[in-house]
Amino acid sequence: VDVSAVKTPSRNPDSEKALQWWRKARFGLFIHWSLSSIKAGEWKGEVVPGLAEWMMFQKKIPVAEFAPLAQEFNPRKFDAAAWAQLAVDAGMRYVVITAKHHEGFAMYHSKADPYNVVDATPWGRDPLKELAKECRKRRLKLCFYYSQDLDWHHPDGAWNTWDYDEAKKKPERYLREKVFPQLRELLTQYGSIGMIWFDTPLTLSRAQSRRIRKFVKDLQPQCLVSGRIGHGLGDYSLPRDNFLPGARLEGDWETCATMNDTWGYKRTDHAWKPVDNLITTLVDLASKGSNYLLNVGPDADGVVPAPSVKRLHQMGAWMAVNGEAIRGTTPSPFKPEFSWGRMTTKGRSLFLHFFGRPERRFRLHGLKTKVRSAALLAAPEVKFAVTQSVDPATGTPLLDIDFKGFKSTRPVTVVKLQLAAAPEVEERT
């Protein structure tokens, strides 16, 4: 099944206001953590192909066999402060954690369903409470992933056909007994919530999606609803999982992606993307108007895999000096992709993100606005000579920057152009 990109929905004034922090943030941490994290992608000694958090579905594991995993859930090394700090160190401004994924297990203390991390495990702690406190301290927006449609534990939830008879399912009972009560808990017991990240809209009707959206907004009007509430009713849009858009996007977008091949922890998945690719992707997405929600899958001990931590720290080092060219920016008025890199803009600044070493005589066609200065964002004392002219043959405005002798730094070097006004581009370019 292909959950394709949804169109940017028409919005109400509430969502416009709620989107402000999210638009500026540009970079967030996704955390997939649930019972299947214990199995690390293996069931009965066998590696299960595909996404680790889809194991229950892939192997058609009966609830009677899967649910007892809760008795093994004891993440001794869980440290909410460390997780929140990791997001801050990476240069992120929000965190989205699985409050309930498709397997139906609530990763917080739910009174609505005893199948939850406090009541059903020997651990007995509420990681979302702890994370809420640590996020608040660091001014990180806390957001909850909530699987509103697929639920393989509730008898009326979608897609568990091996335990429950499809013909007897009453989706309304699932919404009434589980979805609405749990959303109420999540939106009343953890302070202000940045967003409910709904996912995988496959069976709910437009009317049901609309009721869920309204339920969220009635409890917390500033809380965003992700595009995957379905039926174009979210506050913003998402491409498919791990899909990188090739063009500039109109409206508000968020691209969610993994660092390896799976969301939940999988011991055998070593397909780690090089950090240079992750940074380039962050730049590419910002230049096209999309947020980047980058995932980690902590293990059964509550530890984020070392390769993920390493990459987030490296991204954070880049963001610490170049974050100004990402956060709070919008795409430039130019076409989005250049062979040399990408552009973002903020007010009277135009940021050139070079993916490699810039040409000694770099030329940009079509910028009509006067350039006052060009400097290295990471070291503003490093200035470059700028010449503006008009191509006598075509009348196209030309900008030349002299990079002679300049050695760029990997993977992306940002040059900040200070302009006399917001950048304007000639129509023809």
Candidates 14, 241, 324, 402; binder of ligand H57 (CB under 6 A) is: 241
Residues 41, 48 contacting (CB under 8 angstroms): yes
Cβ at position 5, least distance to ligand H57 in Å:
13
Element (DSSP H or E) covering residue 22: helix 13-25
Residue nearest to ligand H57 (CB): 1
- Name the CA radius of gyration of the chain, rounded: 23
Part in contact with ligand H57 (CB under 6 A); list of ranges 48-56, 78-86, 243-251, 356-364: 48-56
Q: What's the rounded Cα separation, in Å, for the pair 379 and 172?
A: 58
256 near ligand H57, rule: CB under 6 A? yes
- The end-to-end CA distance of the chain, in Å, is 39
Strand-pair category, 290-296 with 253-257: parallel
- Nearest distance, CB of residue 286 and ligand H57, angstroms: 20
x/- string (CB under 6 A) for ligand H57, residues 3-42?
x---------------------------------------
SS3 category, 27: strand
Give DSSP secondary structure letters for 77-118.
Answer: T--HHHHHHHHHHHT--EEEEEEE-TT--BSS--SS-S-BTT
Verify binding: residue 324, ligand H57, rule CB under 6 A. Answer: no
How many residues in the shown chain lie near ligand H57 by CB under 6 A? 11
Query: Residue 383: helix, strand or coil by DSSP?
Result: strand
Q: Is 152 in the site for ligand H57 (CB under 6 A)?
A: no
Q: Which is nearer to ligand H57, 59 or 184 (CB)?
A: 59
Task: Identify residues 49-78 at the interface with ligand H57 (CB under 6 A).
Answer: 51, 53-54, 57
Phi-psi region of 60 (alpha: psi -120 to 50; beta: other; left: phi over 0): left
Q: How far is the CB of 414 from ligand H57 (least distance, A)?
A: 30
To ligand H57, the closest distance from the beta carbon of 58 in angstroms equals 6
Chain residues binding ligand H57 by CB under 6 A are 1, 3, 51, 53-54, 57, 199-200, 241, 256, 263
